[in-house]
Amino acid sequence: MSAILNLSGVYKQFGSQPILRDIDLSIEAEKTLVIIGESGCGKSVTLKLLMNLITPTEGQVRWWGQPVKKMNEREQTRQRLRFGYLFQMAALFDSLTIYENVAFSLRQNTRLSDSDIDSIVHERLRDVGLDSRIVGQKKPAELSGGMRKRVGLARALATDPDVMLYDEPTTGLDPIMSDVINELIISTRERRHMTSIVVTHDMHTVQKVADRVVMFYPLSRLEHHEPQIIFDGTPEQAFETDDSRVSQFVRGEAGDRMLELAAA
């Protein structure tokens, strides 16, 4: 299976603070890539770069073989509709109903009739286990965190994307609701034959949904010559690796980090 998204020699810096350094990453179609790593190592920044919500300081992003920076604004907008994005806290519009949230992108970016939009909204909510007759006229504040995440997923899927980006999809959820989200990630990919990219700290999510795992490491903990991606393999390999940095993270062991905190 060929790569559909590529980062080539990508650097990203905010002001004087470097976040990503010389990142090369290729993402295959219809697979689930999970990105792990400590807080602040550039995982969520990478998602935003892949969707061109932000641009690299250096390097190149390619969508389906085409350099994004060579696309005009109209083409970028058209191609961006092939992406769905589930934000960390769902990022629903508080002033809109659940129905209006799911319909929002369809109204903004398509010329579909009201009846077609209505059909899609009902179907997408049903896909994530929600009944639009019950939740459709509610506001986000009236729903639990897990239900808001599911609405966020329904909204992201409304335009029938080829690629889904999930930023910390299980953060703040109880174990059962976290597994509901994991099951939805799996069923969405299988049913729609889509590519999924997941940023998470949740090792249960890693083991359950990932075909491939990459681990980023904070630049502050690396020598200048060391690569920032310190692992690229299967979930099983991540738990069996001899690299103590990876094994410590995936097993959730404090180890020598306690000594660093004590010395700080």
Both ends of the chain: CA-CA distance in Å? 47
Closest CA to 36 of 182, 172, 164, 200: 200
Closest CA to 37 of 249, 248, 182: 249
Residues 6+ apart with CB under 8 A from 39: 201
The DSSP string of 77-134 is HHHHTTEEEE-TT----TTS-HHHHHHHHHHHH----HHHHHHHHHHHHHHTT--HHH
Helices (H), the chain: 43-50, 73-80, 98-109, 114-127, 132-135, 145-157, 175-192, 203-209, 235-240, 244-251, 257-263
The CA angle 238-242-244, to the nearest 5 degrees, is 85
Segment 120-153, tens digit of pLDDT: 999 999 999 999 999 999 999 999 999 999 999 9
- Phi and psi at residue 62, in whole multiples of 5°? -120, 135
The side-by-side arrangement of strands in the sheet containing 17-28 is: 17-28, 3-14, 58-63, 66-67
Question: What per-residue confidence (pLDDT) applies to 23?
Answer: 98
In this structure, the number of other CB atoms found within 10 A of the CB of residue 26 comes to 13
Question: What per-residue confidence (pLDDT) applies to 89?
Answer: 77
H or E element at residue 255: none
Percentage of residues in the chain with pLDDT exceeding 70?
96
Mean pLDDT (whole number) for 247-256 = 86
Higher-confidence residue of 89 and 257: namely: 89
Segment 150-198, tens digit of pLDDT: 999 999 999 999 999 999 999 989 999 999 999 999 999 999 999 999 9
Percentage of residues in the chain with pLDDT exceeding 90?
89
The token pair at 52 is: 């061109």
Distance of CA 7 to the CA centre of its chain: 15
Three-class SS state of 62: strand
| pLDDT score of 263 more than 60 | no
Q: Domains along the chain?
A: 1-82+163-168+195-258 (3.40.50.300)
Residues 6+ apart with CB under 8 A from 178: 170, 202, 204, 205
Segment 193-237, tens digit of pLDDT: 999 999 999 999 999 999 999 999 999 999 999 999 999 999 999
